[in-house]
Amino acid sequence: MAGKKLTCLACGQMNRVPFDKLAAGPKCGTCGAELAGGTVAEVDLATLEKAARNDDLPIVVDFWAPWCGPCRQMAPQYQTAAQALQGQVRLVKLNTEAHPNAGAKYRIRGIPTMAVFSNGKERARQSGAMPSQAIVSWITAHT
């Protein structure tokens, strides 16, 4: 069957999305949540691990915390980048304060830190706040 495997970031269910539907905002067959709609989803460690390991579309995670000024400053830029890259990659956020094991597992030394995962492996990492154009360029160069 042609298409891309995507983990629903809301319920964790695996979905297969036809190539021609990726940019059209496909929804999860189980819960109806958007799968690749150009919005940033908040995820937990288990969901990130499953998506990074199984998805056919690259996933970019922003490791952040609510008390971090640069993280809050970058949030709208990250959302703009997600809209620009809709259907090509999925952008997610993981709150390292709410999920401290994630910071330890991925050796996060400073926040915000973005990491690109593709085919089950971390492909690139970048720390520090960036404007949306730089985020898009960095992601495009590593996917």
Looking at the annotation, which residues are catalytic? Answer: 68, 71
| Cα–Cα dist 32/61, whole Å | 22
Residues composing the chain: 143
| Cα–Cα dist 131/32, whole Å | 31
- Strand 121-127's sheet: what is its strand order? 41-42, 90-95, 59-64, 113-118, 121-127
Radius of gyration of the chain (CA): 14
CA distances 50 to 31, 56, 71, Å, are 17, 12, 24
